[in-house]
Amino acid sequence: TQSQQPKLRQPIVVVLGHVDHGKTSLLDKIRSTAVAAKEAGGITQHIGASIVPADVIEKLAEPLRKLIPIKLSIPGLLFIDTPGHELFSNLRKRGGSVADFAILVVDVTKGFQNQTYESLDLLRSRKVPFLVAANKIDRIPGWTSYPDEPFIISYERQSEEAKRNLEEVIYGKIVLSLSEQGFSADLFTRIKDFTKTVAVVPVSAKTGEGIPDLLAVLAGLTQQYLKKRLQYAEGPAKGSILEVKEIPGLGTVVDAIIYDGVIKEGDTIVLNGKNGPIITTVRSLLMPAPLSDMRAKGVKFVSVPEVQAAAGVRIAASGLDDALAGSSLYVATSPDEAKEIAEKLRGEVKELIFKGDNVGVIVKADTLGTLEALLEALRRLNVPVKSADVGNVSKNDVLEASLTAKADKSLGVILAFNVKVLPEAEQEAARSGVKIFSDNIIYHLLDQYTEWRERLKE
């Protein structure tokens, strides 16, 4: 009977792939949102999380369900959107590390590219099962679009030429690249054993074709093969920190994925910080509305007394200033247990800590994720960094930079990504002549600085 069926949580599905292959557009189509259109520079620069409830999945898959009965036993899907730009491998790893399942998005007009391979390596090393969304089929020569139709129906209506062109990219590009990487793959309609063969699902994020098939395969595979993993536990929550950011009025908060158990207001949580493990008390739990992406601008959060796995949740608590993105997060049920967990977490931390150079630039960013990406880019450019922090540019930052400028003008600067320059900082910079480079597109910020540095040398 129904009551004996174990309750399943939402599978956590990470969307990975090369820049501009259509990850965010695909999620936009599923959620009926327009996140991609509003992104600075047309690229994703933050990790996102959004819930798609079961009734929305059922409705989108309806045209297909007339042909194939699909019964959902999962309450929905929790999607993690990641950036495809090469500088954000940190965020791809973070997404990959919490995933139960993945969608590898490949643009059919481009095939496998650098970050497609990088994503595949990540999935292989973490043993994350995945399917391939072969996106942008509307651009296949000769293709006639049937908006929102299942692929299996649209395909039957295509001309022989369009069918041939589709097969050519699916097998000549995608299946071939996967087989070179050691994966056996096939068009999802031709697969007999989904545990042995990677499913390739042709879709168009633009027309919605293939979305019913994608969701049906996704739901089918996760609820069938990951049942054990998805069995929901009532116990204390376990999670992972996706981002650390400053929110006016709330102070420093963490955005976390809860993959097991329950977290409540007032719970004791343990996570890693720059100066060792942090033990603190949950002040409030904030949830984005279903179908909205928690990283997007202007998303409304509502305060809730408790959150069950799986979910993306914003946690406000004191003492989170030093919290580290990428850290595990646990709810502790007693002070002794909190200490025990803290000891376990201590070992996890080494790779997450930044050590500043004696002389170097000052970097400020809106989240720890973008800060890490900037630091990685500067490391590759051999630019030393004196300090790096999440938050607005303050007068103190300018004073520090002006000290450096006395020793080395090219390093006495501030690089600010997607943050404000506070008025006192602006005044101090005008007074001391410190350059502040500010942008909301990561590669523009880097270009601005490197071009200025070149001119300085001349």
137 appears as a binding residue in the annotation: yes
- Cβ 35 to Na ion, closest distance in Å? 10
- Cβ 148 to Na ion, closest distance in Å? 22
17 appears as a binding residue in the annotation: yes
The residues in 34-53 that bind Mg ion, with binding defined as CB under 5 A, are: 44
Position 23 contacts ligand GTP (CB under 6 A): yes
Helix (H), strand (E), coil (C) string for the chain = CHHHCCCECCCEEEEEECCCCCHHHHHHHHHCCCCHHHCHHHCCCCCEEEEEEHHHHHHHCHHHHCCCCCCCCCCEEEEEECCCCHHHHHHHHHHHHHCCEEEEEEECCCCCCHHHHHHHHHHHHHCCCEEEEEECHHHCCCCCCCCCCCHHHHHHHCCHHHHHHHHHHHHHHHHHHHHHCCCCEEEHHHCCCCCCCEEEEECCCCCCCCHHHHHHHHHHHHHHHCHHHHECCCCECEEEEEEEEEECCCEEEEEEEEEECEEECCCEEEEEECCEEEEEECCEEEEECCCCCCCCCCCCEEEECEEECCEEEEEECCCCCCECCCCEEEEECCHHHHHHHHHHHHCCCHHHCCCCCCCCEEEEECEHHHHHHHHHHHHHCCCCEEEEEECCECHHHHHHHHHHHHHCCCCCEEEEECCCECHHHHHHHHHHCCEEEEECCHHHHHHHHHHHHHHHHC
The Cα 327–Cα 369 span in angstroms is 12
Stretch that binds ligand GTP, among 59-67, 94-102, 198-206, 387-395 (CB under 6 A): 198-206
Number of residues binding to Na ion, judged by CB under 5 A: 3
Question: Which one among 7, 65, 126, 206 touches ligand GTP, defined by CB under 6 A?
Answer: 206
Q: Which is nearer to ligand GTP, 45 or 272 (CB)?
A: 45
Position 370 contacts Mg ion (CB under 5 A): no
Position 27 contacts Na ion (CB under 5 A): no
Question: Which one among 20, 138, 372, 428 touches Na ion, defined by CB under 5 A?
Answer: 20
- Cβ 206 to ligand GTP, closest distance in Å? 3
Tell me, residue by residue from 41 to 70, as one string, x for binding to Na ion by CB under 5 A and - for no binding: -xx---------------------------
Position 428 contacts ligand GTP (CB under 6 A): no
Q: Which is nearer to ligand GTP, 34 or 247 (CB)?
A: 34
* Lookup: tokens for 114: 């650098």
- Cβ 367 to Mg ion, closest distance in Å? 16
Position 22 contacts ligand GTP (CB under 6 A): yes
- Cβ 375 to ligand GTP, closest distance in Å? 20
Number of residues binding to ligand GTP, judged by CB under 6 A: 22
Position 204 contacts ligand GTP (CB under 6 A): yes
81 appears as a binding residue in the annotation: yes
Tell me, residue by residue from 114 to 143, as one string, x for binding to ligand GTP by CB under 6 A and - for no binding: ---------------------xx-xx----
CA 338 to the chain's CA centroid = 28
Tokens 């299942």, located at residue: 150
- Residue 92 binds what, of Na ion, ligand GTP, Mg ion, none (CB under 5 to 8 Å, by partner type)? none
Question: Which one among 9, 46, 85, 173 touches ligand GTP, defined by CB under 6 A?
Answer: 85
Residue nearest Na ion, CB atom distance = 20
Q: Which is nearer to Na ion, 65 or 139 (CB)?
A: 139
The residues in 34-63 that bind ligand GTP, with binding defined as CB under 6 A, are: 36, 42-44
Angle at 307 between CA 303 and CA 62, to 5 degrees: 100
Question: Which spans of this chain sit near ligand GTP (rule: CB under 6 A)?
Answer: 17, 19-25, 36, 42-44, 83-85, 135-136, 138-139, 204-206
**List of residues contacting Na ion (CB under 5 A):** 20, 42-43
List residues binding Mg ion (CB under 5 A): 23-24, 44
Binding residues for GTP, by number, are 17-24, 81-85, 135-138
